[in-house]
Amino acid sequence: MDRHTQARTGSTVSWLAGFVLLAVAMQPASAQDLAALARNLAAGQKAFMDGRYETAKSVLRPLAEAGEAEAQYLVGVMYAHGRGYEPVCRQAARWFEKAAEQGHPAASFSLGFLLYNGYGLDTDVCLLNASPGRAAQWLKRAAELGMPRAQRIVGRMYATGEGLPVSADLAIYWTGKAAKQGSLAGQYDLALLYAELGDLVESHAWFAVLADKGYPGARINMGRLAKTMTRGAMSRARVRANFLRAVDNDKDR
């Protein structure tokens, strides 16, 4: 065999070896692999919930580096709160983003919340510059995935123009989504928003629903609104409040 033939043969063998390796890498995970992954993740989650953060870190970090979204999220939480790691918000944001890109709702919210506020839960040890514009895309993603806390913040951003363009309709839409999911804070925000927009009937109705539940400030705000409303408006507000109560009761069944 001449040198050229040997070279071509060697190249073919190398190419085939690479192809085989690639094909192996592309094989779907076996049931055993998936079961092992689930066990490891469950062990890491339990260690995290039990406060055994060094154990959680040793189990979850390899899973996070391998691309497991829930593990990435929990590693982000550990960085944000200083559990098992020194609190480093940029690292928290990095891991939250990896999980958020895979559609993890809590990671999307956590990343957006971090960027929106500019800090973690402890501002003395976990600092990150606020960027409402960057926060908006992640908070909206979390809101679209159904998270009431994200929906509330997105509603507020549309109401104030902080990070998103001012839109009363979208502010009502997103805050209303949180309210209709049973978020009491969302219902309170919605009542305030309606009052700011001049819809006193709707505002009074939502405050009435919250007053039934003993929500702080709801009954006081009802009284303030009542002083500026006509009898007809008060009558409509009572009808609307009864409807909202009925919807709430249906959800509880």
Residues 210, 248, single domain; the answer is yes
* Burial readout 139-155 (b: 16 or more C-beta within 10 A, e: otherwise): bbbbbebebbbbbbbbb
What is the C-alpha separation between 15 and 152, in angstroms, rounded? Answer: 55
Residues 222, 134, single domain; the answer is no
What is the residue type of 228? T
Within-domain flag for 159: no
pLDDT in tens, 96-147: 999 999 999 999 999 999 899 886 445 445 567 789 999 999 999 999 999 9
Q: How many folded domains does the chain comprise?
A: 2
Give pairs for 153-162: CB < 8 Å, separation 24+: 153/112, 153/113, 153/116, 155/186, 155/189, 155/190, 155/193, 156/189, 157/116, 157/132, 159/193, 159/196, 162/132
Residue 110's alpha-carbon distances to 93, 95, 124, in angstroms, are 8, 10, 18
Within-domain flag for 158: no
pLDDT in tens, 230-250: 999 999 999 999 999 999 887
Q: Which domain holds residue 65?
A: 38-145
Within-domain flag for 80: yes
pTM (2 d.p.) = 0.81
